[in-house]
């Protein structure tokens, strides 16, 4: 990969299980702060719909509820980050890193992270929200079988990821209304910006 120019705006990782409300909260953060929202899942789904050979391989992996190869996600993310760099006020990296190694490589190859937000919700809550979302999302992975596998994948890796960032981590109870969650989330972002 080519060297990365220096990034002088905040980088926030937004983590949480599938259905924990990452996308919902990121939409609100974008409205309030004008940050660049990059969802690794959306970047991958765009690659899939482009119909490229890499996209077809990705479809098969995503349908199995597994993690796609590390370099593919990182390369897509890096391209998107650099593209937005001239105007970005900050980055929300939604759903990445999914495993410890992804976090390490992101910081090595792109930039250090400034804040790690983790939306914490029980498995029951995640499943019921995803089954509700499935009615309209059209996502290949919003079905009961794949949801179980995604939760398993998430549970296997998440603790190892967030344990790496004890000082930057903000754990947010995500079984509340989107408004309450956003109030707490924006408090953490305000703190970050005040010290940036």
Ligand X SMILES: Nc1ncnc2c1ncn2[C@@H]1O[C@H](COP(=O)(O)OP(=O)(O)O)[C@@H](O)[C@H]1O
Least Å from the CB of residue 42 to ligand X = 9
Please tell me the distance from the alpha carbon of residue 15 to that of residue 19, in angstroms, as a whole number: 11
Least Å from the CB of residue 180 to ligand X = 8
Q: How far is CA 171 from the centre of its chain?
A: 15
Least Å from the CB of residue 194 to Mg ion = 28
Please tell me the distance from the alpha carbon of residue 121 to that of residue 28, in angstroms, as a whole number: 19
Binding residues (CB under 6 A) for ligand X: these are: 16, 18-24, 129, 132-133, 177-178, 181
By beta-carbon proximity to ligand X, the closer residue of 1 and 140 is: 140
For residue 178, state whether it binds Mg ion (rule: CB under 5 A).
Answer: no
Question: Do strands 91-94 and 36-39 pair parallel, antiparallel, or not at all (unpaired)?
Answer: parallel
| The pair of three-digit structure tokens given for residue 110, joined into one six-digit string | 């792109």
Contact 32, 42 (CB under 8 A): no
| Residue range at the interface with Mg ion (CB under 5 A); choices 21-29, 83-91, 96-104, 182-190 | 21-29
For residue 23, state whether it binds Mg ion (rule: CB under 5 A).
Answer: yes
Please tell me the distance from the alpha carbon of residue 185 to that of residue 172, in angstroms, as a whole number: 7
The option from ligand X, Mg ion, none interacting with 98 (CB < 5 to 8 A, set by class) reads none
């Amino acid at each position: 990969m080519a060297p990365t120019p220096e990034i002088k705006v905040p980088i926030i990782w937004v983590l949480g299980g599938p259905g924990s409300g990452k996308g919902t909260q990121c939409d609100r953060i974008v409205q309030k702060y004008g940050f660049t929202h990059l969802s690794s899942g959306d970047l991958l789904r765009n690659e899939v719909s482009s119909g490229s050979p890499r996209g077809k391989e990705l479809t098969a992996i995503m349908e199995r509820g597994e993690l796609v190869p590390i370099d593919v996600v990182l390369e897509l993310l890096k391209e998107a980050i650099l593209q937005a760099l001239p105007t970005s006020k900050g980055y929300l990296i939604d759903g990445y890193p999914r495993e410890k190694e992804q976090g390490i490589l992101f910081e090595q190859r792109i930039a250090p992270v400034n804040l790690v937000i983790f939306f914490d919700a029980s498995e029951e809550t995640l499943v019921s929200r995803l089954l509700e979302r499935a009615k309209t999302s059209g996502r290949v992975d919003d079905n009961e079988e794949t949801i179980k596998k995604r939760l398993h994948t998430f549970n296997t890796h998440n603790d190892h990821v967030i344990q790496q960032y004890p000082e930057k981590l903000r754990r947010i109870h995500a079984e509340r209304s989107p408004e309450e969650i956003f109030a707490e989330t924006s408090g953490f972002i305000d703190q970050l910006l005040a010290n940036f």
